Structure 1
Amino acid sequence: MNNRFLRIACLFVLMSATAHAARVDTISIFSKAMHKSYKCVVITPDTYHTKNGERFPVVYLLHGYSGNYADWTRKVPGLAGLADTYQCLVVCPDGGFSSWYFDSPVDSSMKFETYVGTEIPAYIDSHYRTRAERKYRAITGLSMGGHGAMFLAMRHQQTFGAAGSMSGGVDIRPFPKNWDLAQRLGEPASHYDNWNDYTAINQAYRLKNGVLSLIIDCGVKDFFIDVNRHLHQQLLQQGIEHDYIERPGEHNWDYWSNAVQYQLLFFHRYFESRKEEVRGKK
């Protein structure tokens, strides 16, 4: 094979791969609750653009404290390929610098529970070919986003059928001096109820076994490992089935780049099981 032919063959392969690869778009989604727009990454799998009329499940992927909507695609270049592998949309919304994904009881300008839990899914369903049912929506995230995913999924079970957390700050109460939490909830001494009401672990009472499919993942050297273990034990005590993973790792992108692969596989299997239920009823 001469060099000219080899170059042409390689160019053909590259063009073919590009033509059938996931598409990564950055859009803006307006929040009526906060009266402003935030950017959002939407990854559509290859077949979204080749199979007209096909509808797809959606995974909402949340960033951590001080991050933004672009973190996941910048730090995990293979994320688009995972959307192709599992044939789902991946939506990476902006959760603000330090929102913790709740509607702040002390700052009326911060309403990220409403935005991410209600407004964004409504927008995505109206602008993309999604399977617009809770059983085809999942939400997960890292660190602050892990807290947000669990908090939102437990409080919005009519919207999400599955949820996950990667190194999630699933109980914020042990960290009163960190990550702008007091700015969002007030000082613990004077706003004790806020700290109890707005932490993800205290939303677990809303769960009934089998309603929300859950996966929790945290590294053993992570500063959030204890709160994840506590959530795991609470779910066991309540009889809530869930996948729980702890393994060597710290609070960093090396861990999350690996963890997200397990999470997307978990959600893919969940979506496929819902499809099988529908087929079985026909």
Structure 2
Amino acid sequence: MDKTPGKVHTVSLDSEVCGETFEIQYYLPKSYSDLYKYNVIITFDSQDFFKYGQIERLIEKMERDGELDRTIIVGIPYPSVDWRNHYFSPNGEQHEKFVTFVGRELNAFIDSNFKTLKMANSRLLMGESLAGSFALSVALTYPNTFSQALAFSPFVDDAFMERFKNSMSLINLNIYHTIGLEEDNFKTIMGKQADFLTPNRELNELLEDEPLEYTYRELEGGHIWKTWKPELKNVLMHFFG
């Protein structure tokens, strides 16, 4: 397995749970050494976190400036828009199996191939839109494995909201949740008009009264990386600064 630091690598991972092979991306900082143990950021929609969020450049700069603990990035890219709907969407037919894949198989792959801290609070799940909903799903299902999650503008409906109500997992979680103020009427990647602002505000009202560590931010802007990218540094400082 290629561990050349400072590069985005791609590897295939077979899943027994899903009966499929998935593409995984990973990035080791230029200072990576097997002598140290690392926090892990797991990104869903990983190609967008690299291309539009430029997250690898950010962790390099923050580490150089002494603002970030040692951290590696592992991610799952999406091969198509349809695929996101089947696997990342809370209503997708492959969603539950894929949550299990991340909680069991992907996590085992990461810990067996990299020097990691292997604690729930040393792992951070990240996603935007449907991938943000997926990050929250994984944290709710495996709170003792992944206690930290970032969701930029997640898809929220009544059924997804029900998952949070009376959840015994919440007490273990640290969630960072954002929504854009221009997301009350926009066109999704599927070409449909949507209002994400209203249901995300409802989710915020629900979570504010629950026993978890919770940060909620309403950002200037819409359902795009121009809104999310400037918030990434605040997120990394919050969890691993």
- TM (norm. structure 1) is 0.69
Q: Shift of residue 147 of structure 1?
A: 0.5
Structure 2 stretches lacking a partner, 5+ long: 63-67, 184-194
Q: Shift of residue 153 of structure 1?
A: 0.3
- 1:150 is matched with 136
| 1:221 equivalenced with 2:177 (yes/no) | no
Q: 1:260 to 1:267 in 2, by over 3 A?
A: same
Structure 1 stretches lacking a partner, 5+ long: 1-19, 64-68, 174-195, 270-282
The 8 Å contact of residues 221 and 248 in structure 1, kept in 2 or not, is answered as yes
State which structure, 1 or 2, has the greater radius of gyration over its C-alpha atoms. Answer: 1
Relative to total residues, which structure has the larger helix share, 1 or 2? 1
| 1:71 equivalenced with 2:43 (yes/no) | no
- 2:152 is matched with 166
1:238 partner SS: coil
Q: Pick from 12, 28, 43: which aligns with 1:61?
A: 43
Within 5 A, what are the aligned runs for 1:156-235?
156-169=142-155, 171-173=156-158, 196=159, 199=160, 202-207=163-168, 211-222=172-183, 223-235=195-207
2:172 partner SS: coil
Q: Distance in 1 between matches of 2:99 and 2:138?
A: 7
Q: 1:231 to 1:99 in 2, by over 3 A?
A: same
Q: What's the % identity of the aligned pairs? A: 22
Q: Shift of residue 214 of structure 1?
A: 1.3
**Amino acid paired to 1:62:** F
2:154 partner SS: coil
The 8 Å contact of residues 139 and 164 in structure 1, kept in 2 or not, is answered as yes
Q: Distance in 1 between matches of 2:169 and 2:91?
A: 26
1:27 partner SS: strand
Runs of 4 or more, structure 1, over 6 Å off, are 102-105
The 8 Å contact of residues 14 and 21 in structure 2, kept in 1 or not, is answered as yes
Aligned residues: CA RMSD:
2.5
- 2:192 is matched with none
The 8 Å contact of residues 219 and 227 in structure 2, kept in 1 or not, is answered as no
Q: Pick from 74, 82, 87: which aligns with 2:58?
A: 82
- Any idea what the Cα deviations from partners look like across 1:81-137, whole Å, max 9, x if unmatched? 2232233111111353323537878x4697211122321111111111111121211
Q: Distance in 2 between matches of 1:108 and 1:165?
A: 20
The 8 Å contact of residues 23 and 43 in structure 1, kept in 2 or not, is answered as yes
- 2:86 is matched with 99
Q: Distance in 2 between matches of 1:100 and 1:227?
A: 21
**Amino acid paired to 2:232:** V
Q: 1:151 to 1:248 in 2, by over 3 A?
A: same
2:176 partner SS: strand
Report the number of matched residues: 216
Within 5 A, what are the aligned runs for 1:33-44?
33-44=17-28
Q: 1:166 to 1:201 in 2, by over 3 A?
A: farther
